[in-house]
Structure 1
């Protein structure tokens, strides 16, 4: 099953909508998030998979739209694939990650 990707411009529009049903996941490491982040994302570092994976289907609604971000889009793609394998039906990868978001949407977010 293929993963849908959205642009950082689309992410900015979706964030501006303040949709309470939109689920936002950031899979970067805590030290990366400390350097650069977008508000309202739940931090689930891939390196801590063993800690958060058992409760993913109770922490998030598998039917709700779920957007996943990382630094450039590779780790988030892995997470999207895993979420689909866990029964999540509306998962989208943020193309280019936080780096593209900083470059193209919000230059106040530092690049690293």
Structure 2
């Protein structure tokens, strides 16, 4: 089972300089990132994860991000099966982030 993290938990984590910061892995398509994104995130579109997951560090927690949390959950499961130990999926995705954390962020 994949762990999920709420947008509030992630926002608190990102604001806490005493904690090692996670890698924010945005798995959405280019056109989606052009509309909005969480600052500091790194993009690898979902369809390229099987080809590029070896580019990801295995010594930090990875938080996968998508629009509503479905694709990110699937990518987190793939990464876990590929041997990554610390993977979380952002529950509700950027839509929940825009609604609850950053009201200036565009919705789509």
Q: Distance in 2 between matches of 1:29 and 1:100?
A: 18
Query: How many residues matched?
Result: 107
The residue aligned with 2:39 is 39
Q: Distance in 2 between matches of 1:22 and 1:101?
A: 16
5+ residue gaps, structure 2: none
Matched, 1:14 2:13: yes
Matched, 1:56 2:50: no
Q: Deviations over 1:60-82 (max 9, x none)?
A: 22242110110000000010001
1:15, distance to aligned residue in structure 2 (A): 1.6
Q: Distance in 1 between matches of 2:39 and 2:75?
A: 19
1:22, distance to aligned residue in structure 2 (A): 1.7
5+ residue gaps, structure 1: none
1:11, distance to aligned residue in structure 2 (A): 1.1
Large movers: runs of 4+ above 6 Å:
none
Between 63-72 and 12-21, report the one with greater CA deviation.
12-21
> How well do the aligned residues superpose, as a CA RMSD in angstroms?
1.6
The residue aligned with 2:4 is 5
SS of match in other structure, 1:24: strand
